[in-house]
Structure 1
Amino acid sequence: MYIYFLFAVQSTLTDQGRQYGSRAALNLWEPKIIGNQNSASFTIVRDASPLDQIHSIQVGWMVNNALYHDFHPHLSTAWTNDNYGKTGCNDVVCPGFVQVSRDTPLGVRLSPSSDYNGTQHYIIVTVYKDPVNKDWWLLYGDDNQKVGYWPKALFNSTFADYADVLQWGGIVYNDGVLPWPEMGSGHKPDIDQEYRKSCYIGGMNFIDINGDSHAVSDALPRVMVRTSPSCYDIWFATSEVPGEDYAILFGGAGGNNC
């Protein structure tokens, strides 16, 4: 079972409700998990198909011992064209993603992680639609290193040409073993919304048809999705996250009653 905490930007941002990519800085943590649980921070680009037909690409970091064989965050991706019914997978577990970088393979361990109320570390990821061949590309870091791409042919809806919705947030998975795992730093955003204590995603941008980035702001349509507020939470940041115009804070300790 999955629990999501999402900040979603809806499809009214750009001309005709079409979006061509997402960029964000994702704060790095090592949430505690057990068994086959996992915990992640991500950005998602997707279409507006019915639930069982959703086309999407997810990019960020994940702690997943079953997949990566340790308890550290790794560069993690996933894709599907039917909401993971019969298609899609993480990274390159199944055919789909075409790796082009020798320096940054999918699944690479990411370090160092952030310290609670101390030094913060983050990664920058970008997913964008190539305007010529229409493949979805993954870029990494400040220098926009090309990691690889998902070919247009993987997708059979409008997602082959553009995205309808962009999402940023956290996700945890529990295979039935209690307690539920931590999300982010393992701490909910506190009353002061202190970015050194809770996981954050900042620098959230959407990309238009010309390849130009635009910062997400309070003026844009948005939706918060909380599926277990007793264990986790998500807030808009009102205190300053250095170098970021806009951010969300999220996470929590998990527990037995999520």
Structure 2
Amino acid sequence: QGPPVRPSGHHRRPNHTADVGVQLWAVSGASCPEGSVPVRRITEADVLRASSVRRFGRVPMARVRRDTVAGGHEHAVGYVAGDEYYGARASINVWAPKVSTPTEFSLSQIWVIGGTFGNDLNTIEAGWQVSPQLYGDNSPRFFTYWTTDAYQTTGCYNLLCSGFVQTNSRIAMGAAISPTSGYKGGQFDISLLIWKDPNHGNWWLEFGSGELVGYWPSFLFSHLASHASMVQFGGEVVDTRAEGSHTATQMGSGHFPGEGFGRSSYFRNLEVVDWDNSLIPLTTFHVTADHPNCYDIQGGVNAVWGNYFYYGGPGRNVRCT
């Protein structure tokens, strides 16, 4: 197949107030031979950290925000719903949140969602994640995920099962992102665009300024074969309550949104792709937090960042037990 048709408005670059994060693997300028792609090496230790070989690289149940908090997953997200969506774009502030136990994680991502929140849930997901169990360290890593049955039997992270087709020889899925943002220090973002190519119907992923990473074939999906019914942006953590109280795993920077730029993590320049393959600003944008005393979210709009929000928090504190 030929290259995808990028959405109109694609070359209208967001105003950059922060630098773009770079993958560690690519800092040296290395790339793979033509016709091949970089794959993060999976070690025996990676697999041993999973509960079983079969579960390696898959997500625990109840991964997407629902009306009730289930499975220990907690969210602070913004979303649009009630229309037909053909993609989404955002610039995501990159931090290295602390994760309290190896079986927990902290992520910040875009969800492109089709179907209901029952067993027919379809999602395409991309962002950054700190997951000691999956990667063996506490570095934020570029990742993708997909499912067609609410995380039950289909889908996986990155390239750990067939599904996502990588076309890029320079970007390694699951590679660490560097540099990361610092409290009252430098702020670093990654820009991600997910959209449905109108020519072939596949869902493409772009990283940074025009770097095509690969695509999810349309035939993987039921609802997303045609379009998405919801787009969600934000943070998620797993709370295992390993010590009998709320986890101290951080979301975003580990600081609440009220602290603002340079202290709290953000998403900015949020857009969706419409039926005409055009990037457009969000309308009727909602924000919600499962446990706002643990992790919260505050949205806004301005001329430089368009639709944006600050989100995150420290987890366990005097108001979050």
Counterpart-to-counterpart distance in 2, 1:237 and 1:72: 29
Partner of 2:228: helix, strand, or coil? coil
In the alignment, structure 1 residue 186 sits paired with structure 2 residue 247: no
Contact 2:77 2:288 in 1 (8 A): yes
- Structure 2 alignment gaps of length 5 or more: 1-71
Aligned partner of 1:174 in structure 2 is 239
Does residue 9 (structure 1) correspond to residue 80 (structure 2)? The answer is yes
Asked whether 1:95 is paired with 2:157, we answer: no
Structure 1 segments unaligned to the other structure (5+ residues): 12-16
Q: CA deviation at 1:174?
A: 2.7
- 1:234 equivalent to 2:297? Answer yes
Deviation at 1:50, TM superposition (A): 4.1
- Given that 1:99 and 1:105 are in contact with CA atoms closer than 8 Å, whether structure 2 keeps it comes out as no
- Tell me by how many angstroms 1:86 deviates: 1.5
TM-score by length of 1: 0.89
The answer for the alignment partner of 2:88 in structure 1 is 22
- Alpha-carbon distance in structure 2 between the residues aligned to 1:147 and 1:55: 21
Aligned residue identity for 2:308: A
Whichever residue aligns with residue 312 of structure 2, its letter is G
Q: Which amino acid aligns with 1:251?
A: G
Residue 60 of structure 1 corresponds to 127
Residue type at the aligned position of 1:164: S
Give the partner amino acid of 1:153: F
Query: Which residue of 1 is the match for residue 215 of structure 2?
Result: 149
Q: Percent identity?
A: 32
- Distance in structure 2 (CA, Å) of the matches to 1:180 and 1:173: 10
Structure 1 vs Structure 2 CA RMSD: 1.7
- Does the CA-based 8 Å contact 1:117-1:196 persist in structure 2? yes
Which runs of 4 or more aligned residues in structure 1 lie more than 6 Å from their structure 2 counterparts after TM superposition?
Answer: none
Rounded to whole Å, the distance in 2 between the matches of 1:99 and 1:227 is: 34
Residues 2 and 173 of structure 1 are in contact (CA less than 8 Å); yes or no, is this contact kept in structure 2? yes
1:51 is matched with 118
- How far the C-alpha of 1:209 sits from its partner, in A, is 2.5
The answer for the alignment partner of 1:69 in structure 2 is 136
> Whole-Å Cα distance in 1 between the matches of residues 204 and 124 of structure 2?
10
Alpha-carbon contact 2:117-2:150 (below 8 Å) kept: no
1:27/1:122 contact within 8 Å kept: yes
Amino acid across the alignment from 1:171: E
TM-score scaled by length of structure 2: 0.72
One-letter amino acid of the structure 2 residue matched with residue 255 of structure 1? R
Counterpart of 1:252 (choices 313, 316, 319) is: 313
**Count of residue pairs brought into register by the alignment:** 244
CA deviation vs aligned residue, 1:217-256 (integer Å, no higher than 9, x gap):
xxx2232221111211000146x69x42221100100117
Rg larger for: 2
**Partner deviation per Cα, 1:77-104 (whole Å, 9 max, x = no partner):** 1100111012111111221111110111
CA shift, 1:141, in A, is 0.2
Matched residue, 2:180: 113
